[in-house]
Amino acid sequence: MELDIRQIFFMILKKAPIIIASTIIVGFLALIFTKIFVTPLYTSTASLYVQANEKRQTAGAISTADYTVSGELVSTITYLIKTDAIINEVAESSNLRDVYDNNHLRDMVSVSSSGTEHFKVKVNSSNPEHALILVNAFSRVISDSTLINNKIINSDDPNRGYIRAILGTGNITLIDEGTLPVKPSSPNVVSNTLIGILLGFILSILCITGYEKVNLKIITEDDLTSLFADLPVIGSIPLIEDGPAEEKGGQ
């Protein structure tokens, strides 16, 4: 049965209780699924700063070329941080080798940058303490200095500066260490619930519209003309309800 916009509109109004109930049920199921079956992840973030030109610490000159090269170094760091050399050192220094293998650690860490010399190292974990330990382990392994009281202090720790040792140039300074995450960064319960509500609303309308479209039951004259548009309606038989029992006996 063909449905026009007007018919669909009145059909939705007629089936509003079913649509509302379906929307609420699917939204509630999305909430329960997110709460029970989706593992919450905690994110700890460390901020770092890379200098391609080591003379800038004393000269203070900043050029466009410095920004360009530093941005390319950040891209290189993004690649190197997931190599086995860095992953193995992080696993050993964090004492979490028995908990996570290299592939797991590689999936947990990420680097984000806005295209400048500043970049952030993030670690996601279902354990907030592990997220903190690992992000600080990653940031220490790849950096060779730390910003303390507005002064860059070079580190003599042999476990630091792996990136500089590989690249042979540049300074990577740890600006802010990671902090212990208090709240999970994912999943977003509110967002998932809203998505469930939206899906429930859309699916209920699609199901009702689909049912009405394939429903061939003829109830009104309009249903008949919509199925057989080329044939004229010759006549119709009205629906006559039965009268009281005593009236039937007298007929």
The span from the CA of 137 to the CA of 150, in Å, is: 22
- Same domain for 139 and 46: yes
- Same domain for 160 and 50: yes
Tens of pLDDT along 147-165?
A: 777 776 776 676 677 777 7
- Same domain for 73 and 88: yes
Compare 166 and 25 and report the one with higher pLDDT: 25
- Give the residue among 172, 177, 170 at the shortest CA–CA distance from 160: 172
Max distance between CA atoms of the chain, in angstroms, equals 117
The span from the CA of 202 to the CA of 22, in Å, is: 10
Residue 215 CA: distances (Å) to CA of 3, 15, 33, 207: 11, 15, 34, 12
pTM of the model: 0.70
The span from the CA of 172 to the CA of 157, in Å, is: 14
Compare 210 and 36 and report the one with higher pLDDT: 36
- Same domain for 46 and 32: no
CA atoms within 13 A on the CB side of 184: 14
Tens of pLDDT along 86-123?
A: 999 999 989 999 999 999 999 999 998 877 788 999 99
- Same domain for 192 and 147: no
Q: Is residue 236 part of a domain?
A: no
Residue 83 CA: distances (Å) to CA of 25, 77, 102, 148: 46, 10, 9, 29
DSSP state of 66: H
Using an 8 Å Cβ cutoff, are 117 and 71 in contact?
A: yes
State yes or no: pLDDT of 251 exceeds 60. Answer: no
| pLDDT for the residue 126 | 95
- Same domain for 102 and 15: no
| CATH code for the domain in which residue 144 is found | 3.30.70.1130
- Can you tell me the mean pLDDT for 60-73? 64
Using an 8 Å Cβ cutoff, are 167 and 79 in contact?
A: no
State yes or no: pLDDT of 57 exceeds 60. Answer: no
| pLDDT for the residue 73 | 82
- Can you tell me the mean pLDDT for 162-185? 84
The span from the CA of 28 to the CA of 23, in Å, is: 9
| pLDDT for the residue 223 | 62
State yes or no: pLDDT of 29 exceeds 90. Answer: yes
Split into its structural domains, the chain has a count of: 2
Compare 62 and 183 and report the one with higher pLDDT: 183
Q: Is residue 233 part of a domain?
A: no
State which of 137, 154, 176 marks the end of a domain. 176
Q: What percent of the chain has pLDDT over 90?
A: 39
Compare 164 and 250 and report the one with higher pLDDT: 164
| pLDDT for the residue 3 | 58
Q: Is residue 246 part of a domain?
A: no
- Same domain for 47 and 16: no
- How much is the mean pLDDT over the chain? 81
The span from the CA of 101 to the CA of 125, in Å, is: 13
Q: pLDDT grade, residue 231 (50/70/90)?
A: low
Q: pLDDT grade, residue 59 (50/70/90)?
A: very low
- Same domain for 169 and 149: yes
Q: pLDDT grade, residue 61 (50/70/90)?
A: low
- Same domain for 124 and 46: yes
For 161, the domain range is 42-176
- Same domain for 31 and 91: no
Burial readout 176-185 (b: 16 or more C-beta within 10 A, e: otherwise): eebeebeebb
| pLDDT for the residue 217 | 63
| pLDDT for the residue 195 | 96
